[in-house]
Structure 1
Amino acid sequence: MSSVLVISGSPSRTSKTERIGEHIAQRIAASGRSADHLRVRGLPADSLLGADTRAPAIAEAIGKVAEADGVVLATPTYKAAYSGLLKAFLDLLPQFGFAGKAVLPLATGGTVAHVLAIDYALRPVVHSLGARHAVQSFFLLDKHISVVEDQLSVHPDSAGPLADVIEQFTKALDGVPHSTVLGRTA
């Protein structure tokens, strides 16, 4: 059984991006895979910003990335790029921290003018971390995401395409051998 780690890079406690990350984790778990959700904002700020990879919470988070067969990166778009919080965490990973993994880059934002931020800012980092396969990235408009009485709702214009991207990601997971590191099996 493959395992997936959803990493949410929003600093907001009321983040729609984080809610989408949780939605994806639940969909993946419903497909029979193991899914965990790492909220970077919950990591100790001093350790995160000080790059203290020996701090227990940071070491545990990095370990979760290492153990996962697939990673979903969920980020809000700020100033035409992914969040600095997510960047701070990704900078702590080893050079090939995504080796052998399928990765789904996903972003939310207020305008379609930010759609290319995923491909021009986040995707190069995903590839530099050695991802085996980065599936088609996905961008959700903030206005297509609503939370009413703690229930997430995705507008039909985005719900279908989001489901398709999740399906692509799960198919990519099926091709990821467990414990593969730089082409060598453990």
Structure 2
Amino acid sequence: MSAAQVAVVVGNPKPQSRTLAAARYLATELAGHEPDLVVDLADLGERLLDWQDPVVADLVDEVGSADLVVFASPTYKGAYTGLLKLFLDRFATDGLTGVAVPLMLGGAPAHALAPEHTLRPVLTEIGGIVPTRGLYVIDSAHDDPAAYAAWLERARPVIAAFLDRTGAPA
């Protein structure tokens, strides 16, 4: 069997952000290999506003069919970014077929529930399987493996079990 198809979607308005680095790290740790598809929404710019844009439509299809997708955003006003919202709005209610992982970075622990309260409901609404709670990482620790370790210890076996069940080994 081939390895799970893994995608990362990042809604930080700054290209090549710390959020992107965090999402790539998390996806690699969960899947055991680099993501097959990385969508840095900052690179798409105004294409996200054009509902007929074929590039965005193709990315929605690719992300929607991935076995595992890490959706990442910085925390703005206790929620994910409008940039990520523009992308997620493209999905039908059954548009996401794999395991989805909500990841948010923020400046302080005050918004630690943001992935659960804001991002997770949308991912389930568009069909994603979200078998673990979302992950919130303090921005200043985005590159510290210790910031992910406890979450990964709990989430990795659960996510692997879901991927095995769908025939997409981690």
Regarding TM over 0.5, the answer is: yes
Contact kept in structure 1, 2:123 and 2:130, CA below 8 Å: no
Contact kept in structure 2, 1:109 and 1:141, CA below 8 Å: yes
Mapped partners of 2:132, 2:51: distance in 1: 28
1:184 aligns to what?
none
When Rg is computed on C-alpha atoms for both structures, the one with the higher figure is 1
1:110 aligns to what?
107
Structure 2 counterpart of 1:6, one-letter code: V
Q: Which runs of 5+ in 1 are unaligned?
A: 146-152, 179-186
Between Structure 1 and Structure 2, which shows a larger proportion of strand residues? 1
How far off is 1:28 after superposition? Answer: 4.6
Structure 1 counterpart of 2:38, one-letter code: H
Count of matched residue pairs: 165
1:39 aligns with 2:40: yes
Identity %: 30
1:174 aligns to what?
164
Mapped partners of 1:110, 1:13: distance in 2: 19
Mapped partners of 1:34, 1:81: distance in 2: 25
Q: CA RMSD in A?
A: 2.2
User: Residues 42 and 165 from structure 1, CA distance in 2 versus in 1: closer, same or farther, beyond 3 angstroms?
Assistant: farther
User: Residues 172 and 136 from structure 1, CA distance in 2 versus in 1: closer, same or farther, beyond 3 angstroms?
Assistant: farther
| Structure-to-structure mapping, 1:4-83, within 5 angstroms | 4-28=6-30, 31=32, 35-43=36-44, 45-52=45-52, 55-83=53-81
1:127 aligns with 2:161: no
> For 2:127, what is the secondary structure of its paired residue?
coil
How far off is 1:103 after superposition? Answer: 0.9
User: Residues 123 and 42 from structure 1, CA distance in 2 versus in 1: closer, same or farther, beyond 3 angstroms?
Assistant: same
> For 1:64, what is the secondary structure of its paired residue?
helix
How far off is 1:80 after superposition? Answer: 0.4
Contact kept in structure 1, 2:94 and 2:126, CA below 8 Å: yes
2:141 aligns to what?
144
Q: Which runs of 5+ in 2 are unaligned?
A: none
How far off is 1:129 after superposition? Answer: 0.8
Task: Tell me: higher relative CO, structure 1 or 2? Use CA pairs within 8 A at least 6 residues apart.
Answer: 2
Contact kept in structure 1, 2:12 and 2:83, CA below 8 Å: yes
Mapped partners of 2:130, 2:145: distance in 1: 28
1:160 aligns to what?
149
- For residues 54-103 of structure 1, give each alpha carbon's deviation from its aligned partner in whole angstroms, at most 9, with x where no partner exists: x231122112113211211111100100111111000011221123x111
| Structure-to-structure mapping, 1:86-105, within 5 angstroms | 86-99=84-97, 101-105=98-102
Query: What TM-score do the two structures reach when normalised by structure 1?
Result: 0.78
Mapped partners of 2:162, 2:9: distance in 1: 18
